[in-house]
Structure 1
């Protein structure tokens, strides 16, 4: 590792797949725009956005993949070995792989174990400003699978709360989380609401046709969007949803709502539903989809490149968000993507969703599959309603990610 250069240096740590961590990638883009050299530490997997890959100011430092200790050890012991392995490899990477000793280190939370402790220790040893970006609480995500009273969940909460206080500065994703950090953890944070970067925008007709012709070899139903006139009564509606196929994004609600939509004779518009993302429960739902004999519904589950994803979102008539927060304090990033592309959204309700989605203004909020079905029916029976919602979404798009970042995050890096 070289000595600190004259140029400002920052390190971003994601103890996960860098390509699936959009907010941290956007931090990196903004830091580069403000003259920083940036090291991004995390795991390989999905392809990061091209602006980062092509930048001479960004350096990816990939961590060794964690062995699957569960194949050899009991669950608790496997967890201990996993944490130990991650701690050693993360500390080694920070010490030996970074382009320069950073002036600032920004770590994503969650995950918290062992990244918060290791990053704090590194910053203490090398006099680096330690910043945490709170996306959620790690212990609440762990509680989804283990239960709130599980010993590991309780230990995780104590660890997260204790070492979280060692940061020199903090960012968080909602006003509700900022209040909770202050009131319950005595941590001061600045709210940085997610905003879409410039690549999230409405897709032109020419781009739409080119994208659908490219994808049609795998998804032939998309050719209807190319060959049919939009005024044709048989022209389908396009619905998009992005999911991680996990427990906090219950795809069954959308699945049941589409079944209800298909059965209602008043619904005459065919729907092509594009569900992006990958995750542990994807195959389970794909098997269920194959068993359905829908007449008006066609579901595709593509995995898109970082460049294709915003183009697809920008083609949609309506988005659906299934995200529910384990803590009730974070917001769905995918809704931000959809709003950036000018697409109104139907979103699953939870505590602080009102900070992003305003029911009846820029989208709809639902609790049940019946409510979601009714909202789908309203939107595709009344084109003027979709336009009214989209007009309000355009207000959200006026402030870009970088403008918002400069106002709320940049002061922490000066």
Structure 2
């Protein structure tokens, strides 16, 4: 608390100094008066008795495609908090969120996305500046919350701005670490690019200023502690089982073999951290198995999602000449997605963590629908996918093709390898979000009151 008050004093002094420089030395006490007036206004808007049950949840991304932050919002509301959920519009959030009287969604307009002039660095700087103003304006406009939850990444400029607003408004700042933003940037620019190095310093410096931290894996918890000197609490993502009914997917022009086609499912944001050429090459090899006389079912591969590389991969898919395999790309609302997963035979995950420390939510969703998974290998994947127990882990397209061959051989037989994986998922003790959240996050909120 003493540190917080010292930092508040520093901010007030900086504001006063800036006003003095702008207005000149002859203005007397005007800068100090203005600074103190602004300070008083903000403190009057700090959370009072009613505000102690008010929380802001911020994600600088598509609200509807941020399931973990939606789960935080639902858990907060279930425990009697009034939630303001801030983020960009896009996918429709789950109906449970829309119907909850304690959750108010406030959308932030996403601008600067089509700016064509200037260098990429200039465009990025302008975007950060505009986002800073947007976040400041939005966070200062809403009623002062007692806590602010922020999803990271993306954390630039959200971490620093949210911390500063929390400081001014007397709110507690909580970061939920999904990954490291600078590692995602390195996909485009490389590890040694100045922008990536600045982003790493920024994330490291401002990340330590939060009051509490949550994270998605045990590996990330350990990395935050050892390399960032940040204490965090591990909160597993939602594994709750989802009820579903069968969903019919058109087989299109796929040539049927005896019985129905197998249904292979994947979901993606069509970004650089997922290489779908691996899946396409594996499907080509699977087609080759059938044409060579190996007894396998025809295959329908449904890929859900939206993103920047979708058109690129759609062009590749359209050029492929399959007889026994059909690939379709589609977009589903939140309520329909688990229906599709529950109707599938096998899931494929191509998410390869930039930090090696996060887990793919798509696998969490698939396991929640008792759908076994083939997933590409990375550092902490074993926390989620147990090789030869609830799925298989692969390293190449050739590995994946071999796994598809293994799992789709006699795939409708409950005693097959795929059937055993499904039974293991049904019998496993799934992580319950509500129970874990109440035991981990709720005590953090109570302790900071």
TM-score by length of 2: 0.84
- After superposition, residues 32-51 of structure 1 pair within 5 angstroms as 32-51=77-96
1:302 aligned to 2:338? no
Give how far 1:394 is off: 2.3
Contact 1:19–1:44 (Cα < 8 Å) also in 2: yes
Partner of 2:206: 163
Q: Distance in 2 between matches of 1:326 and 1:320?
A: 18
1:266 aligned to 2:309? no
Contact 1:195–1:404 (Cα < 8 Å) also in 2: no
Match of 2:379 among 351, 356, 376: 351
SS of corresponding position for 2:55: strand
- Greater mean deviation of Cα atoms: 58-67 or 232-241: 232-241
Contact 2:254–2:325 (Cα < 8 Å) also in 1: no
Partner of 1:334: 362
CA 1:220–1:257 in 2, change beyond 3 Å: closer, same or farther? closer
Give how far 1:220 is off: 5.4
Q: Distance in 1 between matches of 2:326 and 2:307?
A: 21
Partner of 1:104: 147
Partner of 1:408: 440
Give how far 1:341 is off: 0.2
Give how far 1:396 is off: 4.6
- Greater mean deviation of Cα atoms: 178-187 or 278-287: 278-287
Contact 2:279–2:397 (Cα < 8 Å) also in 1: yes
CA 1:260–1:267 in 2, change beyond 3 Å: closer, same or farther? farther
Partner of 1:254: 279
CA offsets, 1:195-243, max 9 Å, x none?
2355x34x3xxx31xx42xxx6xx454999xxx9xxx932111111001
Partner of 1:240: 265
Partner of 1:68: 113
Match of 2:222 among 146, 160, 179: 179
Q: Distance in 2 between matches of 1:370 and 1:74?
A: 40
Gaps of 5+ in 2: 1-44
Give how far 1:268 is off: 2.2
Q: Distance in 2 between matches of 1:395 and 1:408?
A: 25
Q: Distance in 2 between matches of 1:56 and 1:7?
A: 18
Q: Distance in 1 between matches of 2:253 and 2:426?
A: 26
Q: Distance in 2 between matches of 1:73 and 1:57?
A: 44
What's the C-alpha RMSD, in Å, of the aligned pairs?
2.0
Match of 1:399 among 400, 411, 431: 431
Partner of 2:196: 153
Q: Distance in 1 between matches of 2:165 and 2:51?
A: 21
Partner of 2:393: 365
Give how far 1:351 is off: 0.5
Give how far 1:286 is off: 1.0
Q: Distance in 2 between matches of 1:3 and 1:184?
A: 34
Q: Distance in 2 between matches of 1:222 and 1:334?
A: 28
CA 1:93–1:252 in 2, change beyond 3 Å: closer, same or farther? same
CA 1:291–1:223 in 2, change beyond 3 Å: closer, same or farther? closer
Contact 2:265–2:344 (Cα < 8 Å) also in 1: yes
Contact 2:52–2:146 (Cα < 8 Å) also in 1: no
Partner of 2:184: 141
Give how far 1:49 is off: 1.0
Aligned residues: 394
Gaps of 5+ in 1: none
Q: Distance in 1 between matches of 2:104 and 2:240?
A: 20
Partner of 1:21: 66
Give how far 1:371 is off: 0.8
Give how far 1:291 is off: 1.5
SS of corresponding position for 1:409: helix
Q: Distance in 2 between matches of 1:295 and 1:178?
A: 47
Q: Distance in 1 between matches of 2:295 and 2:116?
A: 50
